[in-house]
Amino acid sequence: MTDILVIEDDYDIASLLCDFLGKEGYSVYHAASGEEGLEYIDSNLVRLVLLDIMLSKMDGFEVCKKIHGAKNLPMLILSAKIEKEDKLNGLLLGADDYIEKPYDIDLLLAKIHALYRRHYDESLKGSIIQEGTIKIDTSGRNVYVNETKLSLTTKEYDLLLLLVENKGKVLHKEYIFNKVWGFDSFSEPSTLTVHIKWLRKKIERDSKNPKYISTIWGVGYKFQV
């Protein structure tokens, strides 16, 4: 099993990163292209992916999309592309977070530790939550509507779980953003609105007249049944 797959076409950056992560106790594999990274995932167990966007052939967004479509793996994008649209695109395609190059190595390590805890800490797992037609299996981080399994991004899952666990409460936008994306996230707060929109399309019968997730104008959102 490989703890971290680094998909990065800059050998100098990849070498330094792999050496550092190795010294931190992680087993690391370096893929120099998106194609190599996808091939490695197909034949090896991987626990987390660090993904560069500006790859030479298949770009990181396409790689992110393919990984999310095939595996439920936590992904952290590392990129020099700092435009808001690039960040939103990466998150919507299934990445968990986005950190800009050049990055602070301590901040990167903290994000890796947080992703590991969120996905693999057994103390955070192990129950079924049923609310109306929605069923959440926290042991496998799976969501079902009318017994049909949904394909949710990691952030969509975390967002839904937070709302459900606070059923009936009005949660402020700032509170939700900080809980799901974190105080140190480089994501824009507006990404919350986008994720609410996408989540409604997946869990609501009519996303324009939502039953479960209500907008409290000027404040935030509330989950209700």
pLDDT digits (tens, 9 = 90+) for 53-63: 888 888 888 99
Statement to judge: residues 177 and 85 lie in one domain: no
More confident: 184 or 157: 157
Statement to judge: residues 141 and 211 lie in one domain: yes
pLDDT digits (tens, 9 = 90+) for 111-141: 898 888 877 765 555 678 999 999 998 877 8
Q: What string of H, E and C letters represents the secondary structure of 72-140?
A: CCCEEEEECCCCHHHHHHHHHCCCCEEEECCCCHHHHHHHHHHHHHHHHCHHHCCCEEEECCEEEECCC
Statement to judge: residues 110 and 215 lie in one domain: no
Residue 191's domain is classified under what CATH number? 1.10.10.10
Statement to judge: residues 89 and 199 lie in one domain: no
Statement to judge: residues 27 and 50 lie in one domain: yes
How many angstroms separate the Cα of 89 from the Cα of each of 82, 112, 125, 156, 202? 12, 20, 29, 14, 18
Statement to judge: residues 113 and 217 lie in one domain: no
Statement to judge: residues 95 and 157 lie in one domain: no
**pLDDT at residue 96 in the model:** 85
Contact residues for 16 (Cβ-Cβ < 8 A; gap 6+): none
pTM tops 0.85? no
Statement to judge: residues 20 and 105 lie in one domain: yes
Residue 82's domain is classified under what CATH number? 3.40.50.2300
- Cβ-contact 52, 79 below 8 angstroms: yes
49/119 Cα distance (integer angstroms): 13
Statement to judge: residues 90 and 49 lie in one domain: yes
What type of residue is 3? D
Tally of domains in the chain: 2
- Cβ-contact 202, 156 below 8 angstroms: yes
What type of residue is 217? W
154/68 Cα distance (integer angstroms): 9
Helix (H, G, I), strand (E, B) or coil at 2: strand
Domain that holds residue 179: 126-223
Cis peptide before 189 (omega within 30 of 0): no
Statement to judge: residues 6 and 115 lie in one domain: yes
Last residue of a domain, one of 94, 122, 150: 122
**pLDDT at residue 202 in the model:** 95
Statement to judge: residues 41 and 148 lie in one domain: no
| Assigned token pair, 154 | 């990691």
